[in-house]
């Protein structure tokens, strides 16, 4: 599995935990959920997008 920046990893965990807590285990999450604005940190967005693509399973 591709490595990820630890700050981004923790942010993803925090966002997912909050979404699951508010909407239940079946909630879906896009990698855009981890960014206030898609363009506020393009390098980090690309890192997340690459990780998401490389680790995701199933229909896209």
- Taking only the tens place, the pLDDT of each residue in 12-55 is 888 889 989 999 988 887 767 777 766 777 888 888 788 878 87
Closest CA to 3 of 48, 58, 57: 48
pLDDT, residue 45, reads 80
pLDDT, residue 38, reads 63
Sketch the domain layout of the chain as residue ranges: 6-55
pLDDT, residue 2, reads 59
Report the b/e string of 21-46 with b at 16+ CB within 10 A.
eeeeeeeeeebeebbeeeeeeeeebe
pLDDT, residue 22, reads 93
**Helix, strand, coil shares of the chain as percentages rounded to 5?**
60, 0, 40
């Amino acid at each position: 599995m591709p490595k990820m920046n630890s700050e981004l990893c923790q942010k993803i965990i925090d966002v997912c935990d909050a979404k699951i807590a508010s909407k239940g285990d079946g909630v879906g999450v896009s990698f855009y959920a981890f960014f206030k604005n898609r363009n506020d940190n393009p390098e980090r967005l690309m890192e997340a997008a690459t990780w998401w693509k490389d680790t995701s399973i199933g229909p896209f």
